[in-house]
Amino acid sequence: MEYKGLIRLVNRPCIKSTGSAVGKKEMEGPLAEFFDVSSDDDKFGQKTWEQSESEMARIAFETALLKGKCSKGDIDLLFAGDLLNQCTAQSFGLLDENVPYIGIYGACSNLAEGLMLSAMCVNAGYAKLAAVSTSSHFCSAERQFRFPIEYGSQRTPTAQHTVTGAASIIVESSLHHENDYVYINEVLPGRIVDMGITDSNNMGAAMANAALDTLKRYFMQTNLKPDDFDLILTGDLGAEGMAIVKDLAIQKKMVFGENLSDCGLMVYDLKKQDMHAGGSGCGCSGVVVASHLMEQFRQKKCKDILFLGTGALMSPGSVMQKLSIPGIAHLVRLTHS
């Protein structure tokens, strides 16, 4: 085995079940029918926005367990992370689950990072069932990263709207049975890429080059090309980041067709909902992959896709100190039997 970063998972880890929970604005978007649980007031019965996010995370995880016909005692490893300081949305939400817990932080790439690690652990035999859990909440994210909601501050056109959503995906080994499964065949961990972007209202720009860096490494190592896939799904660059990816791809002599899309452009109706450059947050690619994408596989509308979870590795403090916003993108190849 050559070590250029690409990890081939030969024991065919596959997705056993998924769970998703979202807020009101997500239910007004085009993917509403695919989500499992929602809360009309985004509060999920809790007092604070942070606790609402935690509860939403717990619900998404419990939903994935229920749909997978398994219990929390069956989960050998749980990879979880979110955007809140010290990743407390997940740690408090999953406090009572009593499962071996491995905290991760990849900003909005958390779902891809955790899915990658879950599949790697199942493939190696470290876990019979491993799971990833992630979340973001518009109100807890605004409070922490931008302004209190009550200010009613204006947003720039390049800003993305943090998705109120939580997602869980349970991964198992498919070695002992053949079925109608989505397999995780290959994963490629990303590298940190810094484009020198300092505008924290333009995360898409900060992450675009990271997405291309990972894609370029993937195509070089596999000798595959973009149109070998039904879909190349980034999550979440938004309209601005997507435009930059397309521009930069031309410079880098990479040719993308109509099969390039982004979770941030799918979760809301950008013509009808006032969402600027689209959705963002760990929950964005989380709920799109855990709900809509799984349905696309089931309906045989796609068979072989590349999912690139993108993350912006900054903090409000680093932005105030005028540091740039580095990006990262982890790749997961998903194929349907």
Give me the residues that bind a second copy (CB under 8 A), please: 1, 3, 5, 7, 48, 50-51, 76-77, 81, 83-88, 91-92, 94-107, 113, 117, 120-121, 123-128, 144, 188-192, 194, 311, 313-318, 321, 323, 326, 328, 330
Which of 299, 321 has the CB closer to a second copy?
A: 321
Residue 19: CB minimum distance to a second copy, A: 19
Least distance from a second copy to the Cβ atom of residue 192, Å: 5
Helices 238-251 and 203-222: angle between axes, nearest 10 degrees: 40
1 versus 176: smaller Cβ distance to a second copy:
1
- Closest C-alpha to 106, from 136, 63, 76, 148: 136
How far, in Å, CA of 291 to CA of 266, rounded? 12
- Cα dihedral value 234, 238, 240, 244, nearest 10: 0
**Cβ closer to a second copy: 163 or 302?**
163
CA-closest candidate to residue 231, choices 117, 330, 334: 334
Least CB distance to a second copy at residue 286 (A):
16
Number of neighbours of residue 41 by Cβ within 10 angstroms: 9
* Nearer Cβ to a second copy (29/283): 283
Helix (H, G, I), strand (E, B) or coil at 274: coil
Q: For residue 50, how many other CB atoms are within 10 A of its CB?
A: 21
Report the nearest approach of a second copy to the CB of residue 293 (Å): 23
To a second copy, the closest distance from the beta carbon of 88 in angstroms equals 5
Cβ distance to a second copy smaller for residue 38 or 168: 168
